[in-house]
């Protein structure tokens, strides 16, 4: 391949980056993240672009400097090397400039970490429990729980995706702040859905929190992202985001209850020990005598 052709392909690939977004699934030759479907992922994208603008000039600058140094100060052309060891203004400059660069990255980065941390005001809760090797889901506000297994090759129906589709999808309403609580009953797992900007470790005996507000209906795929044993690669995640009315119909179809109705056990937006895995629940109840219950009043 000629150099000109390589350059042409490279430039074309860069131009195509904005169009290379996938929709909730990875695609062949994908060059960017999957399409953002939550405010968190939109901000992750923005952060990524900002970082590219910072690191690309640095990369070019260092490469050019290195090339100039290699060429101009080669032994043949420069037989007597300089013995200079200090240059105060230069040393101040090459200390201050990186400090400014790192600080300009650190502030937006920390801001984003806090934004990802938890929902300001959660409308409902989804609990994710990692097992070797499948996911269990609970909707404490709706009295629903089920296991979700990846489909084997011979179970796939027309249009389903190998190694990503599952026997029972997580269904969530769009435009709703969903608190996601993650835990595990055996080893470390990680509930990761790229379009949501979520990669949350699920840890036995602990409860981790994150959140999502899905911006558009669709099916979003993910996988376990923590090496958790022999079937680690087969713990797929499929989230179907639907309009609110459709979600309510799904809840009824699953035999669940809507918050506010008579059978609802917990009001939405409150974390109680009952949401914690059985072992965690026992701990929380034990602690409740001495400390206030683990309740966040939003
Ligand atoms: Cu896992």
What spacing in Å lies between the alpha carbon of 148 and ligand 1's midpoint?
A: 13
How many Å lie between the centroid of ligand 1 and the Cα of residue 74?
53
The domains located in the chain, with CATH, are: 3-79+86-117 (1.10.287.90), 124-287 (2.60.40.420)
| pLDDT, tens digit (0-9, with 9 covering 90-100), for 86-131 | 999 999 999 999 999 999 999 999 999 999 998 889 999 999 999 9
Spell out a b/e string for 162-183, using b for 16 or more CB atoms within 10 Å of the CB, else e. eebbbeebbbbbbebbbbbbbb
> Ligand 1 centre and the CA of 238: distance in Å?
14
Instruction: Give residue-wise pLDDT tens across range 143-183.
Output: 999 999 999 999 888 888 899 999 999 999 999 999 999 99
Rounded distance from Cα 130 to ligand 1 centre (Å): 6
* Contacts of 72 by beta carbon, 8 Å cutoff, 6+ apart: 78
- CA of 87 from ligand 1 middle (Å) equals 54
Task: Give the distance (Å) from ligand 1 centre to CA of residue 137.
Answer: 14
The pLDDT score that the predictor gives to residue 5 is 66
- Residues facing 219 on adjacent strands: 240
């Amino acid at each position: 391949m000629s150099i000109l052709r390589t350059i042409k392909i490279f430039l074309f690939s860069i131009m195509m980056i904005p169009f290379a977004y996938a929709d909730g699934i990875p695609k062949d030759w994908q060059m960017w993240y999957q399409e953002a479907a939550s405010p968190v992922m939109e901000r992750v994208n923005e952060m990524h672009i900002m970082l590219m603008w910072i690191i690309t000039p640095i990369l070019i600058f260092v490469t050019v400097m290195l090339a100039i140094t290699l060429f101009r100060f080669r032994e043949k052309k420069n037989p007597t090397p300089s013995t200079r060891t200090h240059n105060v203004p230069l040393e101040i400059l090459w200390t201050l400039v990186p400090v400014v660069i790192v600080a300009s990255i650190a502030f937006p980065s920390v801001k984003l970490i806090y934004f990802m941390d938890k929902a300001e005001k959660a409308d409902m809760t989804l609990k994710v429990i990692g097992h070797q090797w499948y996911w269990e889901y609970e909707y404490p506000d709706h009295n629903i729980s089920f296991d979700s297994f990846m489909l084997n090759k011979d179970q796939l129906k027309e249009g389903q995706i190998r190694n990503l589709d599952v026997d029972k999808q997580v269904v969530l309403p769009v435009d709703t702040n969903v608190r996601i609580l993650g835990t595990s009953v055996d080893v470390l797992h990680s509930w990761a859905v790229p379009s949501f900007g979520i990669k949350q470790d699920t840890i036995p005996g602990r409860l981790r929190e994150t959140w999502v507000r899905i911006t558009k209906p669709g099916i979003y795929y993910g996988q376990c992202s923590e090496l958790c044993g022999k079937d680690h690669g087969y713990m797929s995640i499929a989230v179907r985001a639907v309009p609110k009315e459709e979600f309510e119909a799904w809840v009824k179809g699953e035999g669940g209850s809507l918050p506010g109705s008579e059978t609802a056990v917990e009001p939405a937006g409150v974390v109680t020990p009952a949401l914690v895995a059985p072992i965690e629940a026992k701990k929380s109840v034990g602690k409740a005598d001495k400390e206030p219950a683990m309740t966040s009043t939003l």
